[in-house]
């Protein structure tokens, strides 16, 4: 499983590797001409960045992506990997009810990494950050035998109270914003050696989190919220345990897209399993004490009882409830 491009053999190619230009040469190339976000008072180039925090509070989240574990360069382009790395963190900020303001990026790279590859990866990070009005404000580059991307996202609550996993209450309605199951279906397609349907594969390569739905839910009085990164059932389990409640998901409220039905039929997989347990779409799940806001879909209920997640009133018996890095 390739984690970097083959080592260059020509002199011209050798000049375009990380080993040739060094850490600071790379940083200069990756940051030159970049336009900072409105919240950035001082961007890359000094000992640390300075970011405005007018709310007086900063929301922060970090994810680490390792080549061969979280992404493959034979499955995704460097630009897509950058977008995905940014999205995973920006969605966490949105899940707290905050608006993203900046990204800090750490790159661990093999010395023979082509500058073109790292540049494209950085382009993806910037593109995804700027889609929500944020930017890359700093980071670090180190040598490593494997390509590793570490991203820290920062955000502002803009006067809102943070929406945590611990606030769900009996009687609340469970709702979802964004799509689920697509990234898992895309992974299944790629794992079988196929590259189509394009829309399904693209969902694995670059997620489409509903960033604006996070602050919207907070404004609408959401009692709890979470980014669906490891699988709907697995992540709702965190909410159930943190809130001390029982959550019941209604499959009748989950629409299986026709494209996933087709892929499931071709691969011999029930597509509902992807919706319930597939991660990396970075949808948002939240609980509301009253009416569900526009753009959100009610998919279940919250009740008293032993903290657990049920599917149509029963314990899910269709396999693992989601991704676990250290599970066996």
Annotated binding site: 47, 61-63, 70, 92, 139-140, 165, 227, 229-230, 280, 323
Q: How far apart are CA 210 and CA 217, in angstroms?
A: 11
Q: Residues near 202 by Cβ (< 8 Å), separated by ≥ 6?
A: 186
Q: Which residue has the tokens 């909410």?
A: 239
Q: Which residues lie across from 114 on neighbouring strands?
A: 17
Q: Which residues of 113-125 are buried (b: 16+ CB within 10 A; e: fewer)?
A: bbbebbbbbbbbb
Annotated binding site for substrate: 70, 280, 323
Annotated binding site for Mg(2+): 47, 61-63, 92, 140, 227, 230
Closest CA to 102 of 34, 156, 160: 156
Q: Which H/E stretch holds residue 1?
A: none
Token digits of residue 64: 């680490």
> E strands within the chain?
40-42, 50-51, 59-66, 99-109, 136-143, 148-156, 173-177, 224-228, 246-249, 283-288, 297-303, 308-311
Closest CA to 63 of 215, 280, 277: 280
Alpha helices in 108-257 (DSSP H): 115-130, 182-191, 198-205, 213-219, 232-243
Annotated binding site for ATP: 139-140, 165, 229
Q: Residues near 287 by Cβ (< 8 Å), separated by ≥ 6?
A: 167, 168, 169, 172, 173, 174, 175, 222, 223, 224, 225, 239, 243, 302
């Amino acid at each position: 499983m390739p984690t970097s491009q083959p080592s260059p053999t020509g002199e011209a190619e050798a000049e375009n590797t990380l080993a040739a230009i060094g850490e600071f040469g790379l940083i200069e190339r990756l940051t030159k001409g970049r336009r900072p976000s409105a919240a950035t008072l001082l961007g890359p180039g000094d000992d640390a960045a300075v970011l405005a925090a007018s709310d007086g509070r900063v929301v922060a989240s970090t994810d680490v992506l390792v080549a061969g574990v979280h992404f493959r360069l034979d499955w995704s382009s460097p630009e897509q990997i950058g977008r995905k790395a940014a999205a995973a963190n920006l969605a966490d900020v949105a899940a707290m009810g905050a608006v993203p303001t900046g990204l800090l990026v750490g790159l661990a790279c093999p010395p023979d990494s082509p500058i073109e590859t790292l540049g494209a990866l950085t382009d993806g990070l910037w593109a995804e950050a700027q889609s929500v009005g944020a930017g890359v404000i700093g980071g670090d580059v180190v040598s490593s035998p494997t390509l590793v991307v570490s991203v820290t996202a920062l955000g502002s609550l803009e006067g809102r109270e943070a929406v945590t996993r611990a606030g769900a209450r009996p009687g609340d309605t469970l709702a979802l914003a964004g799509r689920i199951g697509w990234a898992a279906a895309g992974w299944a397609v790629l794992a079988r050696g196929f590259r189509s349907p394009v829309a399904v594969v693209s969902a694995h390569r670059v997620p489409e989190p509903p960033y604006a739905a996070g602050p919207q839910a907070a404004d609408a009085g959401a009692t709890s919220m979470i980014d669906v990164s490891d699988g709907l059932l697995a992540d709702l389990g965190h909410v159930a345990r943190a809130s001390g409640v029982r959550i019941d998901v209604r499959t009748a409220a989950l629409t299986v897209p026709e494209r996933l039905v087709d892929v499931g039929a071709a691969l011999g997989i029930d597509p509902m399993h992807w919706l319930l347990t597939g991660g990396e779409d970075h949808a948002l799940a939240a609980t509301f004490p009253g009416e569900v806001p526009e753009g959100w879909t009610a998919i279940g209920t919250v009740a008293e009882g032993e903290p657990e997640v049920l599917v149509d009133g029963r314990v899910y018996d269709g396999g693992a409830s989601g991704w676990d890095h250290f599970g066996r």
